[in-house]
Amino acid sequence: MGKRRKPSPPSRARLAVLTTAVAGGAVLASGTAHAEPAPTLASVKEQVDRLNEEAEQAIERFNGFQEKQQKLQGEANRIQEKVARGQDAMNELRTQLGVVGAEQYRNNGIDPGIQLMLDSDPASYLGRASVQDQVAGSWTSLLKRAQDEQRKLDQERAEAAATLADLDAVGASLNAQKNEIQGKLAQSEALLNKLSAEERAKINAQEAADRAKAAAQQAAAAERAKAADKEAADKAKAAAKEAAGKGAAAPQTASPQTANPQSPAANTPPPAANTPAPPAAGGRAAAIVQFAYAQLGKPYGWSKTGPSSFDCSGLTGAAYRAADVSLPRTSQEQWKVGTRIGRGDLQPGDLVFFYPDLHHVGVYIGDGKMIHAPRTGKNIEVLAIGVMPYMGAVRP
């Protein structure tokens, strides 16, 4: 067996190369670990806003699933009550069938011909035979009823099983939505918790400034529209006055309305087609708006419909209930109820909707403003409708 040779030590050149490589790797690793910059206030705010918006979308889906679950639970209860009543009827029929079956067995145990031969009173036997025929008829009738009841009971049980399966599926979706909401809210809170009190104050101040800017822009647009309307009205009035002067100089045959241009009917343009009339003062709209005002300052609560907290569609639904009007649970379903209203025709009490998927809704109160339940961590507030992506309005 030969001697094993000891490995020769690395040369200085080789050591230099290895040392350089290790050092370079260490520097690279260190550089990679610290390459990601600290998030800016703007990026944190953007992430928080996005997470809150996604949470609100999930909340409206949750509300829809919750409403469906309640309806399915009611349906399942109703069907199960039917099944219980059907089972009671079947039990009663089985008891009757048992009695009739026992009686038939007792009476038909001996051949009828032999019974007649042995019977000392043939007339009595013939009377009993007639009763036996009736018993047989009852047996047939009971059997048919039992078969019909059993088929009906089987159908009801199948319907109950299908409804309960749907209920389980909706329950699973409900839990998934709940987990999604809680996850997004937790992420949002974790991001905010990384900020100092001063940084949080800056974000809140920026949010307030953004809202004030949007409100100012909306107010300016409203003033421009008002000025344009006044200019158009002044021109119409001047034209009417000029026409009236010409009419006095050269009388012409005119309708009563044209002959009296100062009458309200003459100066009032006809209403646009399909434009709903404004709500009557003190009527339904007043009840809706008054309810909304009474909730100001209460906290947002996801999937809550009051009385101590609300989400956006929970608030609008409660406001309309105060006026004896029932609305669907979710903002998307509320959009489908009533008459669509143009932005220029908004009246207090109308529902105003935001974002392309209509996941946010508020109660319009006039002057370009609404009352709404904003999001988790905020309270019910008055806000200009131009602050969020406005999609339209409905008057239920």
The catalytic site residues sit at 312, 360, 372
Task: Tell me how far apart the alpha carbons of residues 158 and 181 are, in angstroms, rounded to a whole number.
Answer: 35
Burial (Cβ within 10 Å: 0-12, 13-18, ≥19) of residue 10: exposed
Task: Tell me how far apart the alpha carbons of residues 48 and 184 are, in angstroms, rounded to a whole number.
Answer: 9
Amino acid letter, 275: T
Amino acid letter, 261: P
Q: According to the 3-state scheme, what is the secondary structure of the chain?
A: CCCCCCCCCCCHHHHHHHHHHHHHHHHHHHHHHCCCCCCCHHHHHHHHHHHHHHHHHHHHHHHHHHHHHHHHHHHHHHHHHHHHHHHHHHHHHHHHHHHHHHHHHHHCCCCHHHHHHHCCCHHHHHHHHHHHHHHHHHHHHHHHHHHHHHHHHHHHHHHHHHHHHHHHHHHHHHHHHHHHHHHHHHHHHHHHHCCCHHHHHHHHHHHHHHHHHHHHHHHHHHHHHHHHHHHHHHHHHHHHHHHHHHHHHCCCCCCHHHHCCCCHHHHCCCCCCCCCCCCCCCCHHHHHHHHHHHCCCCEECCCCECCCCECHHHHHHHHHHCCCCCCCCCHHHHCCCCEEECHHHCCCCCEEEECCCCCEEEEEEECCEEEECCCCCCECEEEECCCCCEEEEEEC
Task: Tell me how far apart the alpha carbons of residues 315 and 307 are, in angstroms, rounded to a whole number.
Answer: 9
Of 392, 388, 386, nearest in space to 215 by CA: 386
Amino acid letter, 88: D
Q: Which two tokens stand for residue 214?
A: 């949007």
